[in-house]
Structure 1
Amino acid sequence: MKIKERIAKLIDVKSIITLTFTYVFAYMVITGKDIPDYFATTYASILIFYFGSQFKKSEGNDNEKRN
């Protein structure tokens, strides 16, 4: 996969939201701020959705290669 294609895939909405939440979460951890429960729950849900959809895509690609 070319670099341009990877960058193009990063610019979709779910990736932007996931990266933004990750940066905010990392900032809060590094600076020692309290992480609200609602933020942690929302962040966990976003990560599960993001990586779940990535896994589903890769699983679909594996099935196509086998057939």
Structure 2
Amino acid sequence: MKELLQIKKIIALLLTIVFCYLAIMGKVTAEQYLTVFSLVIAFYFGQSTARQAVKEKVTQNL
């Protein structure tokens, strides 16, 4: 499971770097960049929040 979490972080970081590069080079518009970047960040933080909520629920049940 830890390996999968690391892979998600690497993918999110690489995607961010690539889209930053493409935006700087003028290959994508600011709107396209914002859409993709927002989805990646929302997914990443959504997963983190969900995992934290599950951990807290398990801890409360013990």
Q: Which TM-score band (shorter chain)? A: 0.5 to 0.7
The two structures have a TM-score, normalised by structure 1, of 0.62
Equivalent residue number for residue 10 of structure 1? 6
Per-residue CA distance 1:10-58 (angstroms, 9 max, x = gap) = 12xx3332111222355568xxx25622122111111101110111001
Residue correspondences, number? 56
1:56 aligns with 2:50: yes
Q: Name the structure with the higher helix share.
A: 2
Paired with 1:40 and 1:26, the residues of 2 have a C-alpha distance of 10
| Larger displacement relative to structure 2 (57-66 or 15-24) | 15-24
What residue identity is the alignment partner of 2:12?
T
Q: Paired residue for 1:38, among 7, 32, 36? A: 32
What is the Cα-based RMSD across aligned positions, in Å? 2.3
The two structures have a TM-score, normalised by structure 2, of 0.66
Segments of 5+ residues of structure 2 without an aligned counterpart are: none
